[in-house]
Structure 1
Amino acid sequence: MLSMHSDLFILQSILISLVNIPENGNLKSPAWFSGFRSVSFTLHTNDVLSTVMNVLKSCSLPVEHMKGLEARAETPKGPAEAGVPFYRPIKWDKSYYTFTGFRDPEQELQQARRVEPTLSLWLRNNEPEATKKHNASLPRREELSRLKKELCQQFDLADIRWQRSWGVAHRCCQLQSLSRLSQQNPEALINLQGHTVVFADQSGMNASGHVILGTMDVHHQWTKLFQQLPSYRSLQQQTEWLKERISLLLGGTQVVHMERLGPVQPIAEHYSTLSTFHKNLMSRRLRLHPRSLQGLTMLLENDRSNPCLHEMGHFIIPTNCNPPKLQVFLQSHAHEARQRTKRKNQLQVEEEAVMKQCLQSLSLRSLSKEPSVSSSQMILCCKRLVEQRSPLMQGLHICVSHFYSVMQDGDLCLPWDWKS
C-alpha cells in the first residue's frame, strides 16, 4: 500500500497530465485544437499507481513522469514503511465539554498520567484558583437561586434539576429561558403544576414522571410538550397500574427505576418494557405468596439474558425472563437480597450522618458526590476529611469524585481515596 504522500503525488500527476500543455505553448497545434474527445477505460486493479497509469494511457496522456514513482512503488517496504490506515481522532474544543457537561477525556487522561499528589499539597496549589472562581460565580449563583425559587413558587413545581453537570452560567441561561416563556405565555406552564422539571438533552417525560426540557429545544417545542402533559400523565398512571399488577404477581416485589444509574428513559419506553414483562408473566401461572417477597425491589432490562442480584440488594431481571425460572431465582435469593438491602439502608443512614458532620466541621458551603461513588466510599472519604480538618476547604463547594479538578465555578472535585 502506498503512503499518503505517494497517493497525493499520484493524484497531482493526473492533474498535471490532464493540463499538460506543450512546452512551446502552441495551443493551435492539431493535437490541442481538435477539441474534446470521449475516452473510456476499465479499472482492473485496486492499486492506486496501476490505476492511474491505466487512466493516463487510456486518455493518451504522457506517463513518462510516472516512471520514477513506479520504480519507488516496486521497492520492497519494511514493516515500518508499510501502509497503515489513516486515523485522526476527533478532538473537540474545550467549550464543547463545558456546554454539554460531558467529561473531557483528554483532560482526564492527563490527570491520570500525573502522579497523584497528597490532598494537602493539591489544596495549597489549587485553593486560590478555586476561591477566585467561586467569588466570581457568586452573582450567578444568587441569580440561579432566585430564578429557581421564583419558578417553583409561581408554577407550584416540586423541584428543578439538571441531568448533567452544567456550570452555573448555563443553568442560569436555561432558567432565564423558561422564565421568559412564562412571561410571554403563562398559560402554557399551567400543566407543569406539581411536576419536577429536569433540564436534559431531549424533551419529554422520563420513567419517574419528571418533565424533561431539552436544552437545545426552542420555546415552541417546550410549549408543545406542556400541551401534551395530560396524555403523558395518563401514560404514567397506566405505568403505575402495571407496576402494581406485577408486584401482585411477584409476591410484593416492586419494580423500580433509577435515573441516576443511566441515561434518561422516556416514559413511553418504560411503559413498553413493563407491558412486555407483564404479558410474559401472565403467560405462565406463578405460585408465589402475595407478600412473600414484600420489601424487595427489581430493575427491568431489555438487553439482559439472565437475572442477577445487585450488591445493593435489588434484582436485575431480563424483560423476557422465563417466569418459572424467575420464580425459582427470586425465592432462592430472597434472603440474600434482604440482607443486602438492609446493609444498603444502614450505609445510607451512616452516609447522611457523616456528610452532615463533615459539612459542619469543615464549614463547607456544600458537599456532594458523583453517582459512581458508593456509600461506603463516601463514608470513608468524609471520615478522613474530618480527621484532617484542612482550613483551605472552608467556604468551598466540594464534590467527591475519582479525580482532582477545579470546576469552572470554583467547585472542587476530590477523589474519594485521596492520599494524605
Structure 2
Amino acid sequence: MEKLCFGSWVVGQKSGLFCHSVGGVINVYRNLSSAEVSTALRPFYFSVHPDLFGQYPNERSVNENSLKQLSSYIETLQQKRDVRPTTVTFYLRTNASNNERTSRGTFRPVRISLSQRDIHKTVKSILQTCNLPTTYLDSIAPPPPEEKPQFSKFSEDYNAPFDENDPIYGSVVLKQMVQKSKDAQKLTEWLKKNSGDAREKLAACQPVREEIIRLQSALEESLGLQNIVWDCGWNVTHFRGCLQSFQALVRHHPELMHVLHGRTLMFGNDTGVSLDGHIMLNSGEVRHNWLDLLKNLPKHDHALLRIPAFEKAVSRVLRDIQVVRRKFQPKVMAGHYENQLRRLTTSLSDYQGRLGYPKNWPDKLDEFELVVEPEAGPLMLSPTGQFIVPASCPAFLLITFIDKRLEEASDLLSRYKSNKHVERDLHEQCLRGLGLAALHKDDNITPDLMIACCQQLLNQQATLAPMLAGVRLWVTHYYSVLSDGEMCIPWNWKL
C-alpha cells in the first residue's frame, strides 16, 4: 500500500485508510466511498432537489447552483485536495401542514457552512444543519479525530468573524445571501444609500484595475497567450497578486513558457487543464504548484485529446444523445472527466444489453443534451433543458428519469435557444442606456431571469440611469456592495 506520512498521520492513498498515532496507540479510520457519500446524503437530496420547486423558479435556481458548488466541494475533498471554506444556501422542503403553509410554499432557507477538511465531517455537518438523521453515516464509519488546521499562505482563520472590507475575501461571491431585510428593499432606496460608497470603492480600485490591464497585456504579448481570465470569487486585488506572482515565475523559468503559446490562462479554484483546453491555476496555491502543472502539461493535453472519443461512446450507447458541457458548469479537469465518462458508458452498455430502452423512445435522441458531472450530485433536469447526471448514477435510474422528462426537456431547450439571443441584445441595451461600466451575472441567473431583469431596468431607464452611470453591476439574488466597488442587485428587484 502506498503511504504518505504527515506528522502523526499515516495515509494509505489506495485503500482509503487513515492511521492516527496518539500516545503510541495507532487508530485506523476509513474514508467514505463515493457510494456511501451518496447514500448518506440521499435524504438531503430528496429535500432540496430542484424539481421540488417547479412553481418557485427563484428557489429552484438557488438550489441548483448550490448543489453544483456542494458537488464540487465534495469531489475536491474526495481527491484529497485543498478546499477553501464557503457557505451555500438551500431551500429545504418541509412537511408542513396546511395551517403552516405560506405564500412561499412549504420550504425554508438553510445556510450550510462548508469548512471541514474531511468528507465524513462535511457530510455529517450537512445532515445536522438540515435536521436530517445521521444514523447511516454513524453506522458505517466513525469520524476521524480532530486535526489541528494548517493554513496555507492565502488561508484564513475559519472561526474568525468575516470582514466585509478584507481586501482578499471581501468580494467572495458566497458571503452572499445577505439578510432578507436587505433583499426586501426597493432598488431606488438601496441605490441612494449605497451608490456613493460604491463609486468611492470603484475609484480606489481603479489603479489596481489599470495595473491588471498592463500586466495582462504584457504577459499575453510576451508569451503568445490568447487570453488571461479571472474565474475566482476573490476581488481584483488578489487578481493583481496572481498576475505578479506568475510574472515572477516567467522570469525564473522562461524555458518552460513555450507551452503557453496560443492558450488561455485561467486563475480559478483548481490547477489542471479544463475541458475547454484552458490552463487553470489555483489562485490560492504557491508558484511551485503552478510550475509542476506547466512541466506536466503534455500529460494533461493527452487526456484532453481522448475526451471526444469517450463522449462519443456515451452518445452512441444512448441513441446519439448530445453529450455536452453544462451551460453554467464549474470547471472540470480533463483527467477526472475522462474517468466519469468511462464509468457511465459501461453502466449504460450493460443496461442496454440486458433490458433495452423503452419502446416509446424515438430512434434517436440527438435533439436532447446530456451533461456528465461529478459523482456526488443529484440527477436532475436543468432550467436550460439539459439532463444532468452524476457519473455514479445507476443506469436504470437514468433511463427512468429521461423517459419521464423527454417532453419537458424539449420545451426547456427550445426556450433557452430563443432566450439566449434576446438576453444578448438586452444586455447591450442596458450597457448603453444606463451608462454602465460593466454588466455581469451570477452563473445561476439563467437567460429568462436575466431577460426579466434587463427589461425592468430598461423600463425604468430614466429613473435609474443617473444612479447607475459608471457602475459595475452584477445581477444576483441579493443586494451587496463588494469591496472593489461592484454593486450586486437581485434579478427580481422592486422599484
Work out which of the residue numbers 415, 425, 431 in structure 2 matches 1:359: 431
Indicate how the Cα distance of structure 1 residues 96 and 123 shifts in structure 2: closer, same or farther if over 3 A, else same. closer
Larger fraction in helix: 1
Shift of 1:120: 1.7
Indicate how the Cα distance of structure 1 residues 282 and 96 shifts in structure 2: closer, same or farther if over 3 A, else same. farther
Q: Please tell me whether Structure 1 or Structure 2 has the larger radius of gyration of its CA atoms.
A: 1
Once the two structures are superposed, residues 138-189 of structure 1 have per-residue CA deviations (whole angstroms, 9 ceiling, x without a partner) of 2211121222233233323333223323222211111121122222322222
Which sections of structure 1, spanning at least 5 residues, go unmatched? 1-88
Once the two structures are superposed, residues 3-52 of structure 1 have per-residue CA deviations (whole angstroms, 9 ceiling, x without a partner) of xxxxxxxxxxxxxxxxxxxxxxxxxxxxxxxxxxxxxxxxxxxxxxxxxx
**Who is 1:310 aligned against?**
382
- Determine if the alignment matches structure 1 residue 399 to structure 2 residue 468: no
Relative contact order, higher structure (CA 8 A, sep 6+): 2
**1:12-411 alignment runs, 5 A limit:** 90-94=159-163, 98-100=167-169, 101-103=171-173, 105=175, 108-109=177-178, 111-114=179-182, 116-258=184-326, 260-262=328-330, 264-283=331-350, 284-285=352-353, 292-301=364-373, 303=375, 307-321=379-393, 323=395, 326=398, 330=402, 333-389=405-461, 390=464, 391-411=466-486
Moved more, 231-240 or 129-138: 129-138
Q: Match of 1:316, SS?
A: strand
2:273–2:301 Cα contact (<8 Å) kept: no
In structure 2, C-alpha distance between the alignment counterparts of 1:290 and 1:178, rounded to whole Å: 52
In structure 1, C-alpha distance between the alignment counterparts of 2:367 and 2:217, rounded to whole Å: 36
Indicate how the Cα distance of structure 1 residues 304 and 169 shifts in structure 2: closer, same or farther if over 3 A, else same. closer
- Amino acid corresponding to residue 322 of structure 2 in structure 1: Q
The CA RMSD over aligned residues, in Å, is 2.9
Shift of 1:369: 0.8
In structure 1, C-alpha distance between the alignment counterparts of 2:183 and 2:416, rounded to whole Å: 34
In structure 1, C-alpha distance between the alignment counterparts of 2:434 and 2:183, rounded to whole Å: 27
Which sections of structure 2, spanning at least 5 residues, go unmatched? 1-157
In structure 1, C-alpha distance between the alignment counterparts of 2:365 and 2:469, rounded to whole Å: 47
Indicate how the Cα distance of structure 1 residues 153 and 253 shifts in structure 2: closer, same or farther if over 3 A, else same. farther
1:369–1:400 Cα contact (<8 Å) kept: yes
In structure 1, C-alpha distance between the alignment counterparts of 2:207 and 2:182, rounded to whole Å: 34
- Amino acid corresponding to residue 216 of structure 1 in structure 2: G
Q: Match of 1:94, SS?
A: coil
Indicate how the Cα distance of structure 1 residues 328 and 166 shifts in structure 2: closer, same or farther if over 3 A, else same. closer
In structure 1, C-alpha distance between the alignment counterparts of 2:482 and 2:389, rounded to whole Å: 38
- Amino acid corresponding to residue 387 of structure 1 in structure 2: N
- Amino acid corresponding to residue 241 of structure 1 in structure 2: A
- Amino acid corresponding to residue 271 of structure 2 in structure 1: S
**Who is 2:44 aligned against?**
none
1:364–1:393 Cα contact (<8 Å) kept: yes
- TM-score by structure 2 length? 0.60
**Who is 1:72 aligned against?**
none
In structure 1, C-alpha distance between the alignment counterparts of 2:436 and 2:371, rounded to whole Å: 36
Shift of 1:251: 2.2
Indicate how the Cα distance of structure 1 residues 182 and 259 shifts in structure 2: closer, same or farther if over 3 A, else same. farther
Moved more, 310-319 or 329-338: 329-338
Shift of 1:231: 0.5
Larger fraction in strand: 2
